[in-house]
Structure 1
Amino acid sequence: MTDRSTATATADSGGSGAGGTAGPARAANAARTAVVWDALEGLLARLGDGGPLEIVDAGGGTGGAAVPLAELGHRVTVVEPSPDSLAALERRAAERGVTVRGVQGETRDLSGLFTPGSTDLVLVHNVLEYVEDPAAALHDVVGITRPGGAVSVLVTNAVAGALHRALAGHIEDAHRLLVDPDGRWGESDPMPRRFTRQQLLALIGGAGLEQESIRGVRAFADVLPGHAWEGDAQAGQRLVELERAAAEHPELIGIATQLHAVAHRP
């Protein structure tokens, strides 16, 4: 499982938190993360009663999401198979002056690491692409989520993957990706799996979760040429606002690089 920068917008991209880098780099990061962080902020507000939440970041890597969440006062545990990533997580948390619990493991280990129904929020960001059985992994996640708690799922969008291959001139790859059940364009495709919106909805429903929202993430940031906005803080901020507006239009989900689903356990 890989490190994700979902909530880094809080610390590094002009989100709700303070600190981090400034200027163009900050705006560039925000363009790729602001939509997810906006959804997480609303989710945290709905789940919380003023006290800290119990949050598990499954496959949380080096803490790109976990550390900013801990800075907000929540109790965060990262479950990550890589010892190197866990060591980097410990360093990052120490540098920011927060505590994040790091545990070596995978989604199939969740039931042995946590009491059933003990977690308010579980992040599953860029994980289902890599696990052997996405449906089983999501069931394991649901098992540790309390009734009324929430799950945040971020996956790579197969339809957008085809668009990007076509724009790069790889027409046959784009076609193969669209018809492949795993959303791959060939044996050399570095991504083990991509998802369509319908596949993501089926996974969520099959796990017993009730979907609250699905938004497109990075509808324009990965399509526009970098010179159009990178290095220009004002242009980067305009792109952030464009991404936020695009996320509210279901018609644009198909071109977004990622799909972000928020669901709750009834």
Structure 2
Amino acid sequence: MKLLLINPNSSAGMTAGIADAARAVAAAGTEVIATQPGFGPASIEGHYDEVFAAAGVAEQVRQAAPLAPDAVLIACFGDPGLDAAREATDAPVLGTAEAAFHVASMLATGFSVVTTMTRTCVIAEHLVLKYGFERRCRGIHGTDIPVLALEEAGDTLLAQIEASARTALAQDHSGAIVLGCAGMAGLCGTLQQRLGVPVIDGVAAAVKLAEALVGLGLRTSKHGDYATPLPKLYRGWAGPLGW
């Protein structure tokens, strides 16, 4: 199968790192095509950044139509542009947060999220409510690690994330940790070994769920609000993105 992996920020280094993490868990027959928007923020650390990131996701899904990907993965824990992407293609579209929440809920009665900037915790809270996981998510913890710092995540950052996860497990009485940033994907195995609980990376979870959906022959419904966008004029730089 052909998997389109979209990093919604404009950092080429982070795109490469996320792609490596996706390929590490992908099945032998899965081709991972990694891309990023042609505009927008270098990292997504707030509502303002997310608006441009969502538009970038829509841009990449539209431009990738000739490739006919079998599934699309949005590699940002805010799942920016997820609903728009599902309108723009009938391929399954998975966000890392939604995928991680589903997987965590299958492994523990409650989970905690450990993410980057504290200011983005409210975005994760909104997603927990949107996806209906408020009874399973017992806490969301910010580390105030800048997203781009994860490109060179060394022992100090790993220790900081581990400490936050241990605090979350103790305070929230949770049984699993969800990593709240696609840039943390490469740390998942080490953290799981050290913490002794399931640690879920949304990138890996989304890759495997995408493979399962494709294997089942399932597509995004075009009945109702995920129907193909209505034809209309798009102006300015968005002109090529209209139907």
TM-score normalised over the length of structure 1 = 0.34
Higher helix share: 2
TM-score by length of 2: 0.36
